[in-house]
Structure 1
Amino acid sequence: MPRRALPTRPARPLWQWALPLLAVLGVAGGGAYLGTRPQNPPVQAAAQARTVAGDWTELQAFGPRPVGEPGHAQALDWTQEQLEGLGYRVTRQPVTLERPFDLGGTLTVGDLRVPVRALYGAGGGEQSGRLVPLSGGLSREEMEARGLRGQIALLRCQDWEDGDLSRGEIVGRAIQAGALGLVWVQDCDLARLERVAATPLPLVWVGAEDGERVWAQAGENADLVSNVERREVTGANLIAARVEAKPEIVLGAHLDSVNASPGANDNASGVLAVLEAARRVAGTPLAGQTWFVLFDGEEDGLYGSRTFVNAHRFLLRQTRTMINLDMVGVGAEPLGVAAHAELRPIAQRVRPGIRLFEDSPPERESFGRSSGVTGSSDHVPFIGWGVRTAFIHRGVDENYHAASDRTLSPARVTDAAAFALALARKTLDMPWTPREPCEGFSSDGC
């Protein structure tokens, strides 16, 4: 009898083999995702217990904060540590720019030879010409009538300090009148560090004692040498936000200061106000709707805020308002706000009697803050992309852009932070129709 073949087990369907494998891959993938996705750092009780006064004690120890200087790097690290301690994930956005570095120079008149320093922002150079003394208040035409064209202007700070002109405007007049160089005798009680245009001419200052010796040589021919090196430096915007946060509110201030100034009011006060605001909203719903941003390179031409806006154009469509805090620690004037027309009535509801002022940035921003009480600050690039802004400011105090900008009022900083948060909350409560800031443009990010 023939042997019958035994029945065989049917082959297992492919899905039965694949299912366990997919499960393993799913578990592994999920674990990898959970292990690599951005996480919010834990909120530290010590960070929440800090105060504005304590923050200022630590921040001022770093000294001046121009981009590229040691104090600037220390301030960046310290500020990031404070924000992370409050439970915010901090992203560093590189900000690259060129800055002038003064390498010294000399003024030679006959047998007299004195050291000179470049005016803040000047480009340096070498020129020879007659020293033409200029008294205060002269117009460009009057300067030229004194024979300034092709020569070197000689000015005393005390002759010009009572006028309405900034140093940059005075220097601009002299250059427009044909000066090939300028010597500023710093004999005022307060030595300001106001920025001048980066004209490739020797624009220098001398101290009061050397200045008197130079002034005695007015009318004589002089050789002026100013050595300035432009270096590329890289700073960073600090963008602090909860992982889940959308930038419905952008609350910011600039971290850098001018050369040789600890920048207490301009703008450690704004930095401390942002830290105080971040501290107050940590763990609240507002933390999920706010980005806290410390901008870099403001003093050199709003580099940080321009970099931030260019990189986040699409996300900024969600932004109801950008609140900028600049110079809020000294009571030169009552606390004020320059705000978008839709935000002014909201600001007045939040704080009846708040000082409203107009901020009129120059049409062609070239080298930082303009003259006047309002000037230009980091809200300006946001305006260019249709974002409503509120510029919180207490006016220009006597130590503005000077080495003597060393003090601030923690109470005024705290008050500015409280107003900024109240304005943010009220703005979020109000109806709002998003605008399309990129409409009509085809550039990247739109």
Structure 2
Amino acid sequence: MKFSFISAAVAASVIWGASAGPLSETHAHSTVKAPVFDTDEALDTMHALSETIGPRETGTAKEKEAAEYISNRLRAQGAAVQVQTFQLKKYFSGSVTAGEHEFPLRSADQSAVEKELRIEGAIFDGGLGLRDDVTGAKGKIAVIREGKIPISQKIKHAEQAGANAVIIYNQATKPLAVRPHSGKGITIPAAGMKKEDGEALLREKQAVIQFKNYKNRTSQNIIGTRKAAQANPSDADIIYVTAHYDSVKGAPGADDNASGTSAVLEISKQFTHIPKDKEIRFILFGAEELWSAGSSYYVSTLTKDERKHSQANFNADMIATDWKEASQMCVTTPDGRENPSVRYAEKAAEQSRLVKPSLIQLGYSDHVSFYEAGIPSANWIWLSPDTHEPGPWYHTENDNMKHISKERLEKAGALVTGAVTEAVKE
């Protein structure tokens, strides 16, 4: 999962927080008549993806190997499987060097960076990126804090002030991903970095930014479909159960996001023989770590009729961390508002005597692609109730099976399963 505090289609700046009744984990038992989530098999799936296959960076042989593994699992369960390939025409990543330090840049604004670039300039403290904050940034690299106004607006202010480039760092420890700002008219190169690196960069006088082009990488979405059992399946509502299976470079991606992938595969298995008048699509997306490219591409291929019949999207991303502080089961939406997907989760929690998940605003993961298409969507994730952070293993080599909680996986899996069950019953 790639964290960000802004979606290109969300007008306001999206921040972790805006909690609606946070609740911590408890030890309740399920009584709802719903499929039973097989936690042990889910753990085996996570081990296969994160330890046997390993890091699954977009466009690599390992990502493709994971896609084949997932396809075979869905076929064995009896789902009709489609492998949807897509090409990333542009993808720029980079680094900034200052003094003796080199800091990674999580992503670059693809609408501004059209080729490999090397930008050298003085560091300018751009505050929060307000107009007055960036006065004097002409010819310099503006380093700006996340928060208060949308990221696209910060970049635009720096551009109008004459800055050569913009780096925006997070207010928390998570790396900040700057999504593409297509349609915003932005031409200045921009990228994101984490809090510690941003603060360290501000202590330097000069810096060199380098962007590398990874264009023309190919990825794939794996789609397992179970058609409705009614006379005219084309009239059935569609339920999407989704997760991403790629990881960032060098990270085994056990929690992010073999955990969500394992949940989708388990739910698919459990719904094999349940009579239904709904169509259920179990989708594992590639390239989520690159601006949710996989889910964005998939949603763009939906017909008008398919969108009309789209009932709900349930997305699982990082549902098994053992970080002690991440004790809050959250269901997130891009605007922080309740929708049918959230209500199904709340009903499932009530039916199964599980803790009602906390509704918060989160503007990045594959559920955003559905939201932007007008489809009710929600994401499941464990976070700290105090900081709303996912933990120290995120996007590192330590995101492995040693830092996985079976109990957290079981609770999240049961809740998502219950939510899908409620949607199917409606």
Q: Contact between 2:313 and 2:375, CA under 8 Å: does it hold in 1?
A: yes
Counterpart code for 1:60:
S
Tell me, what secondary structure is at the counterpart of 1:130? strand
Q: Hey, what's the Cα distance between the residues in 1 that align with 2:376 and 2:193?
A: 41
Alignment partner of 1:380 is 2:368 = yes
Aligned length: 347
Distance 1:150 1:165, change over 3 A: same
**Structure 1 residue 427 displacement after superposition:** 2.4
Match of 1:127 among 110, 113, 119: 119
Superposition pairs of residues 353-432 of structure 1, within 5 angstroms: 353-359=355-361, 374-395=362-383, 396-399=389-392, 402-403=395-396, 404-406=398-400, 407-430=403-426
Q: Hey, what's the Cα distance between the residues in 1 that align with 2:394 and 2:308?
A: 34
Q: Contact between 2:119 and 2:210, CA under 8 Å: does it hold in 1?
A: no
Q: Hey, what's the Cα distance between the residues in 1 that align with 2:82 and 2:208?
A: 46
Q: Hey, what's the Cα distance between the residues in 1 that align with 2:168 and 2:192?
A: 6
Q: Contact between 1:328 and 1:393, CA under 8 Å: does it hold in 2?
A: yes
Q: Hey, what's the Cα distance between the residues in 2 that align with 1:258 and 1:422?
A: 30
**Structure 1 residue 251 displacement after superposition:** 0.9
**Structure 1 residue 80 displacement after superposition:** 1.5
Where does residue 273 of structure 2 map in the other structure? 283
Match of 1:307 among 297, 301, 311: 297
Q: Hey, what's the Cα distance between the residues in 1 that align with 2:268 and 2:210?
A: 45
Q: Hey, what's the Cα distance between the residues in 1 that align with 2:339 and 2:193?
A: 43
Counterpart code for 1:88:
A
Where does residue 25 of structure 1 map in the other structure? none
Q: Hey, what's the Cα distance between the residues in 1 that align with 2:416 and 2:276?
A: 12
Where does residue 347 of structure 1 map in the other structure? 345
**Structure 1 residue 234 displacement after superposition:** 1.8
Where does residue 139 of structure 2 map in the other structure? 150
Distance 1:260 1:287, change over 3 A: farther
Q: Contact between 1:116 and 1:204, CA under 8 Å: does it hold in 2?
A: no
Q: Contact between 1:149 and 1:179, CA under 8 Å: does it hold in 2?
A: yes
Where does residue 365 of structure 1 map in the other structure? none
Superposition pairs of residues 26-425 of structure 1, within 5 angstroms: 51-61=41-51, 62-100=53-91, 102=93, 116=102, 119-122=105-108, 123=113, 125-132=117-124, 134=125, 140=130, 143-144=133-134, 147-153=136-142, 172=155, 175-176=158-159, 178-181=162-165, 192-196=174-178, 201=189, 218-219=204-205, 224=208, 226-242=210-226, 248-285=238-275, 289-313=279-303, 314-330=305-321, 332-338=326-332, 341-342=339-340, 344-352=342-350, 353-359=355-361, 374-395=362-383, 396-399=389-392, 402-403=395-396, 404-406=398-400, 407-425=403-421
Higher helix share: 1
Tell me, what secondary structure is at the counterpart of 2:89? strand
Q: Contact between 2:137 and 2:158, CA under 8 Å: does it hold in 1?
A: no
Tell me, what secondary structure is at the counterpart of 1:351? helix
Distance 1:169 1:408, change over 3 A: farther
Q: Contact between 1:118 and 1:226, CA under 8 Å: does it hold in 2?
A: no
Q: Name the TM-score, length of structure 2 as normaliser.
A: 0.65
Q: Contact between 2:131 and 2:157, CA under 8 Å: does it hold in 1?
A: no
**Structure 1 residue 397 displacement after superposition:** 0.9
Where does residue 183 of structure 2 map in the other structure? none
Q: Hey, what's the Cα distance between the residues in 1 that align with 2:71 and 2:214?
A: 28
C-alpha root-mean-square deviation of aligned residues, in Å?
A: 4.4
Return 5+ residue gaps in structure 1 as ranges. Answer: 1-47, 360-373, 431-446
**Which stretch shifts more, 337-346 or 52-61?**
337-346
Q: Contact between 1:99 and 1:300, CA under 8 Å: does it hold in 2?
A: no
Q: Contact between 2:239 and 2:278, CA under 8 Å: does it hold in 1?
A: no
Counterpart code for 2:74:
L
Tell me, what secondary structure is at the counterpart of 1:394? strand
Tell me, what secondary structure is at the counterpart of 1:76? helix
**Structure 1 residue 274 displacement after superposition:** 0.6
Q: Hey, what's the Cα distance between the residues in 1 that align with 2:166 and 2:300?
A: 38
Distance 1:138 1:57, change over 3 A: same
Q: Contact between 2:118 and 2:209, CA under 8 Å: does it hold in 1?
A: yes
Q: Contact between 2:313 and 2:377, CA under 8 Å: does it hold in 1?
A: yes
**Structure 1 residue 93 displacement after superposition:** 1.1
Q: Contact between 1:270 and 1:413, CA under 8 Å: does it hold in 2?
A: no
Matched residues, percent identical? 23
Q: Hey, what's the Cα distance between the residues in 1 that align with 2:290 and 2:301?
A: 19
Say which structure, 1 or 2, has more relative contact order (CA 8 Å, 6+ apart): 2
Where does residue 367 of structure 1 map in the other structure? none
Q: Contact between 2:80 and 2:225, CA under 8 Å: does it hold in 1?
A: yes
Distance 1:117 1:230, change over 3 A: farther
Distance 1:264 1:175, change over 3 A: farther
Distance 1:142 1:311, change over 3 A: closer
Distance 1:58 1:174, change over 3 A: farther
Q: Hey, what's the Cα distance between the residues in 2 that align with 1:171 and 1:265?
A: 32
Tell me, what secondary structure is at the counterpart of 2:87? strand
